[in-house]
Amino acid sequence: MFGIHGSGDTSGFGGLVRRRVQVAGTPQPYGSYFDEVYDALDHAFPGLDGAIEKVIVDRGELTLHVKPERIAEVCRVMRDSEGLRFELCSSVSGADYLGAGTEGASGGAERRLHVIYQLTSMTYRRRVRLEVAVTAERPRVPSVTEVYPTADWQEREAYDFFGVVFEGHPNLTRILMPDDWEGFPQRKDYPLGGVPVEYKGAEIPPPDKRRSYQ
């Protein structure tokens, strides 16, 4: 399935090679209602060029890549501007693009940890996605809970699993893992671990350690 031969590795993890691809921004016109959304944001938010890193239109979705330190400002304008009215933040999630993350400024550390915000305008029946990228060494992003209260538990989950610290969050604690858990289990460099089973002390090995039957 993954083009692996001779090793007995049935998981594909042993020889799966990720390609490092830097996606360039999409030029205008974006199509659909996307141009109207961007133009309304540009009108309502002076200095937008200093807050947006790039705009991507792919698979019928508009994604605005925002500088991490400006995310709360952009969200507030997206919510309050008459021409935008994105009243609902329906999702805040994390992603780890280990080995394929956004390059840091001036050749700095790889910004592999991403936070994705799904915003919905119930007034205009539109959706847009915001995305920020930070390094694993300094994974700090302003909280948007004051703008979108629905982001409260979702930011806690992204912190719990990816270690992104949301500055200004009212109660940034683990939400699914035990309080004394070490590490962040959805980071790509976190050990996969085996699964204990109650049968003669057997254990299912991690995916990258499994081998086909001989």
Residue-wise burial string across 174-202, b where 16 or more C-beta atoms lie within 10 A, e elsewhere: ebeeeeeeeebbebbeeeeeeeeeeeeee
Q: Is 163 left (phi over 0), alpha (psi -120 to 50) or beta?
A: left
CB 175 within 8 A of CB 181: no
pLDDT (tens digit per residue) in 16-62: 555 666 678 899 999 999 999 999 999 999 989 999 999 999 999 99
Structural domains present in the chain: 34-209 (3.30.460.80)
- Calpha distance 55→10 (Å, rounded): 39
pLDDT (tens digit per residue) in 106-146: 456 899 999 999 999 999 999 999 999 999 999 999 999 99
Q: Strands 140-142 and 195-196, how do they pair?
A: unpaired
- 50: which DSSP letter? G
pLDDT (tens digit per residue) in 147-204: 999 999 999 999 999 999 999 999 999 999 999 999 999 998 888 766 655 666 677 7
